[in-house]
Every structure is written in structure tokens, then in C-alpha cells.
Amino acid sequence: MKLLLSLCIVLLLCSSVMAANPAIKLERGVVNVVTSPVEIVKYTRAYWIKGSEKTPHIIVWFFAGTIEGTVEMVKRGGSGLWDVVSFPFAVPQNYDSLIKPDYVFEDWPRRGK
């Protein structure tokens, strides 16, 4: 499992933003399927940060982030699955991703942003 995660991280860091060929589209699809559960953590953190700036009742923001993260996980996993299934074809145009950002770690929530 650690080897698979390490491989996904290396592929993520070495790939370009836009897929110029089927191999990159396949790689992006596999990475997105494997890392899609990270969306829950990402959105929970984003809502936690946003909520801590607005109100002391952070638990509401925590659950809202968990729910939105679950929705985004399904979207990213579906997009990744689409990339894996359709990697030989240039659909959508130029092998673009169905979801932006292309990878879950490209737009990580930070304090003060």
C-alpha cells in the first residue's frame, strides 16, 4: 500500500497539468481514483478554516465540509474512472480532465487564503 501511494505521488509530481497523450490521461485517472478520498479531508479542512474565522461553532462547519468533501470525492473518483476507461480516445478534446483542478493536491486550503 505504501508503495502504491508513493508511486501515485511520484506520478502526480512528474506529470503535466494537461494530458497531451493517452498515457498521461490514464495516469491522471488512476491517481484521481486512488486519491479521491483525500477530497473529504481537503474540504473538511477548508470548511474548518472558514468556520473558525466566522463563528465559534466549528462543529457545524466540520460536518458541512465532510458532506461536501464526500460529494467531491464521488466527482473526482468518477472523473478518474472516466479517464481510465476512455484513455485511448481524445474525449474531451485534447485529453482534458473532466474536473478541475486536475489533481486533488493542486488547490489545498491554507489559512489566510
For the chain, what are the domain ranges?
A: 2-107
Residues in Cβ contact with 58 at an 8 Å cutoff, skipping those fewer than 6 apart = 48, 51, 52
19-77 pLDDT per residue, tens: 579 999 999 999 999 999 999 999 999 988 888 788 777 888 889 999 999 999 999 99
Residues in Cβ contact with 96 at an 8 Å cutoff, skipping those fewer than 6 apart = 18, 19
Full-model pTM: 0.75
67-84 pLDDT per residue, tens: 999 999 999 999 999 999
